[in-house]
Structure 1
Amino acid sequence: MAWLFLAAAAAFEILFALSMKYAEGFTRPLPTVVTVVGVVGGIGFLTLALKTLPVSVAYPVWTGIGSLGTVLLGFVLLGEPLTWPKLLSALAIVGGIAGLKAASA
């Protein structure tokens, strides 16, 4: 169940990051509300996951998945460039997350 909480936390983290872009400095009300929901949901579900997962694994996984999702959706939704350095950096994040997960077993 903790991993499901962590997945939900990561989804809210991605929502938070993307909605900040749409909020345009908190000048647009609806995206601003979505940003706040993303923050509360992300931290709330992360807190639930941390009841059983070690923080040394859960927090990096949360931020890593949030980063990867934001990079990919920034490309898809916002038309941001997806360069080779970005792709290689994203692969490094995946490798780090996999290593942390393997080390926690």
Structure 2
Amino acid sequence: MAWIYLSIAGVLEIVWAFSMKKSAGFTLLTPSIITIITMVASFALLSLAMRTLPLGTAYTVWTGIGAVGAFAVGVLVLAEAVTPMRLAAAALIIAGIMLMKFSSTAG
């Protein structure tokens, strides 16, 4: 169950990062509210996952999902630049997430 909580927390991190971008510095109400709600939910699910998973594993996977997801949303939704270096960086983050998952003995 910890990995499910952690995965959902990671997806919510992507949502709050995107909503924060759309909030224009918290000057727009709806994206600001979405940011705060999804941020709190993401932290809550991360804390549930940390009951079972090691801190280093949970936090690394959570931030990795958020980083790669935010990169993907930036490229696909916000038309941000795609360069070989950015793609390589995202691939390395994904590799790190997979290594953390496979090296974890808990959960």
TM-score by length of 2: 0.94
Aligned to 2:6: 6
1:81 is displaced (CA, Å) by 1.0
Identity value in percent: 41
SS at match of 1:78: coil
1:63 is displaced (CA, Å) by 0.2
1:97 is displaced (CA, Å) by 1.2
Question: Which runs of 5 or more residues in structure 1 are unaligned?
Answer: none
Runs of 4+ aligned structure 1 residues displaced above 3 Å come to none
Q: Within 5 A, what are the aligned runs for 1:35-46?
A: 35-46=35-46
How far apart are the structure 1 equivalents of 2:29 and 2:80?
A: 24
Q: Within 5 A, what are the aligned runs for 1:80-91?
A: 80-91=80-91
1:78 is displaced (CA, Å) by 0.7
How far apart are the structure 2 equivalents of 1:7 and 1:102?
A: 15
How far apart are the structure 1 equivalents of 2:9 and 2:79?
A: 25
Aligned length: 105
Question: Which runs of 5 or more residues in structure 2 are unaligned?
Answer: none
Q: Greater helix percent: which structure?
A: 1
Aligned to 1:70: 70
1:102 is displaced (CA, Å) by 2.2
- State the superposition RMSD in angstroms: 0.9
